[in-house]
Amino acid sequence: MRHTLSIEVENRFGELSRIVGMFSARGINIESLTVAETLDANVSRITLVATGDHKSVERVTSQLDKQVRVLKAVNITDERRVERHLALIHIKERERLQEALNLASLFRARVVDASGDGVMIEAVGEREEVQALLELLRPLGQCEVARSGAVALAKQTDAAPTVESTEACN
């Protein structure tokens, strides 16, 4: 089963390696990993998608949450969340370019670069949407693809935002 974890850590050298090691040591496969600073340069958010049984992933999540430099570790798999994936697709086949652009527009993808050797399209969406676009583009010929891992945030409750949560974005 796929599990999406949201982990906030102190932005320090070696922290990511330590976290990845905890999954590796328990035989849990990491499918995707995305990490970047938050609005606070001292804190990074890791979005980690792991494949494994529920019990093992929950055990690692609980152990992560107890680590000194881990500020918060939450399995958001069962929570309402927004999750997005990014793919950059360089299409080099000039003869099939219009067909590729038509397919891209169906998925709300956009051209981010056009040069002498083709076009580059940016597709952003849910994992299945990005994968579906890539599958449709595959028969059109030569493409180069770079994909991100998941980025995800749990949705807030239906209650109005608190003063603290709105101030965090200012």
Q: Are both 107 and 144 inside the same structural domain?
A: yes
* Proportion of the chain above pLDDT 90, given as a percent: 72
In a domain, 22, yes or no: yes
Question: What is the pTM for the complete model shown?
Answer: 0.80
pLDDT(164) > 60: no
In a domain, 163, yes or no: no
Average pLDDT across the chain, whole number? 89
In a domain, 119, yes or no: yes
Count of other CB atoms within 10 angstroms of residue 91: 25
Q: pLDDT digit string (tens) for 127-152?
A: 999 999 999 998 887 789 999 999 99
CA distance 76 to 80: 8
Quickly tell me which residue has 């891992």 as its tokens: 149
Q: Are both 42 and 108 inside the same structural domain?
A: no
Task: Give the count of domains, the chain.
Answer: 2
Q: Are both 27 and 69 inside the same structural domain?
A: yes
Q: Are both 112 and 129 inside the same structural domain?
A: yes
Count of other CB atoms within 10 angstroms of residue 128: 9
Q: Are both 75 and 102 inside the same structural domain?
A: no
